[in-house]
Structure 1
Amino acid sequence: MNSLRFEDLARTKRVGNPVVSPDGALVVFTVKSVNMKENRNEVHLHAFKEGEGVTQLTRQGTVNSNPQFSPSGDRLAFTSNRSGESQIWILPLDGGEAFQATKTPLGARQPVWMPDGKSLLAATTVYKELWDLKEVAKRAESEKDDKPTHHLVDELLFRHWDEWNDETLEHLFLFDIATGESKNLTPGPYPVPPRALAGDPDYAVSPDGTEIAFV
Structure 2
Amino acid sequence: MKSTPLFLLMIVFAVSVSFAGSNNLQFETFFSVDRLGTPVVSPDGNLVAFTVTKANISENSYSTQIWLVDRSGNNLRQLTTHTASSGSPVFSPDGKFIYFTSKRTDASQVWKLNLNGGEAIQVTDVYGDVEAFVVSPDGKQLLLQRSVPPDCPDEASIKEKSEAQANNPVKARVIDNLMYRHWNSWLEGKYIHLFLYTIESKTIKDLTPGPVHSPPIALGSSQDFTFSPDSKEIAFASNHDKQIAVSTNNDVFILNGGSEKAFQISTSPGNDN
Matching residue of 1:41: 62
Which of 175, 194, 197 is 1:172 aligned to? 194
Which of 141, 144, 150 is 1:128 aligned to? 150
Identity of aligned residues (%): 37
Which of 17, 21, 24 is 2:42 aligned to? 21
Question: For the residues of structure 1 that align with 2:192 and 2:28, how far apart are their CA atoms?
Answer: 37
Deviations 1:149-172 (A, max 9, x none): 4555543252465x5332112211
Question: For the residues of structure 2 that align with 1:105 and 1:65, how far apart are their CA atoms?
Answer: 19
Deviations 1:147-197 (A, max 9, x none): 664555543252465x53321122111111122111111112111112478
Pair 165,134 (structure 1): closer, same or farther in 2 beyond 3 Å: same
Which of 201, 209, 232 is 1:187 aligned to? 209
Map 1:16-165; keep pairs closer than 5 Å: 16-49=37-70, 50=72, 52-130=74-152, 132-146=154-168, 149-153=171-175, 154-156=177-179, 158-159=181-182, 163-165=185-187
For structure 1, the 5+ residue unaligned runs are: none
Query: By how many angstroms is 1:22 displaced?
Result: 0.6
User: What one-letter code is carried by the residue in structure 2 that aligns with 1:155?
Assistant: L
User: What one-letter code is carried by the residue in structure 1 that aligns with 2:211?
Assistant: P
> Which structure would you say has the larger Rg?
2
Between stretches 179-188 and 45-54, larger displacement belongs to 45-54
Question: For the residues of structure 2 that align with 1:185 and 1:206, how far apart are their CA atoms?
Answer: 15
Length, aligned pairs only: 214
Query: By how many angstroms is 1:18 displaced?
Result: 0.3
User: What one-letter code is carried by the residue in structure 2 that aligns with 1:42?
Assistant: S
Matching residue of 1:208: 230
Pair 133,206 (structure 1): closer, same or farther in 2 beyond 3 Å: same
Matching residue of 2:27: 6
Pair 41,160 (structure 1): closer, same or farther in 2 beyond 3 Å: farther
| CA RMSD across the alignment | 2.4
Contact 1:171 1:184 in 2 (8 A): yes
User: What one-letter code is carried by the residue in structure 2 that aligns with 1:27?
Assistant: V
Higher relative contact order (CA 8 A, sep 6+): 1
Contact 1:85 1:107 in 2 (8 A): yes
Contact 1:127 1:167 in 2 (8 A): yes
Deviations 1:71-124 (A, max 9, x none): 111111111112132211111222221122112212113221111111111102
Question: For the residues of structure 1 that align with 2:154 and 2:194, how far apart are their CA atoms?
Answer: 12
Pair 28,175 (structure 1): closer, same or farther in 2 beyond 3 Å: same
After TM superposition, the score normalised by the length of structure 1 is 0.87
Query: By how many angstroms is 1:68 displaced?
Result: 1.0
Say which structure is richer in helix.
2
Contact 1:110 1:201 in 2 (8 A): no
Say which structure is richer in strand.
1
Between stretches 80-89 and 131-140, larger displacement belongs to 131-140
- Name the SS of the counterpart of 1:104 in structure 2: coil
Query: By how many angstroms is 1:131 displaced?
Result: 5.1
- Name the SS of the counterpart of 2:131 in structure 1: strand
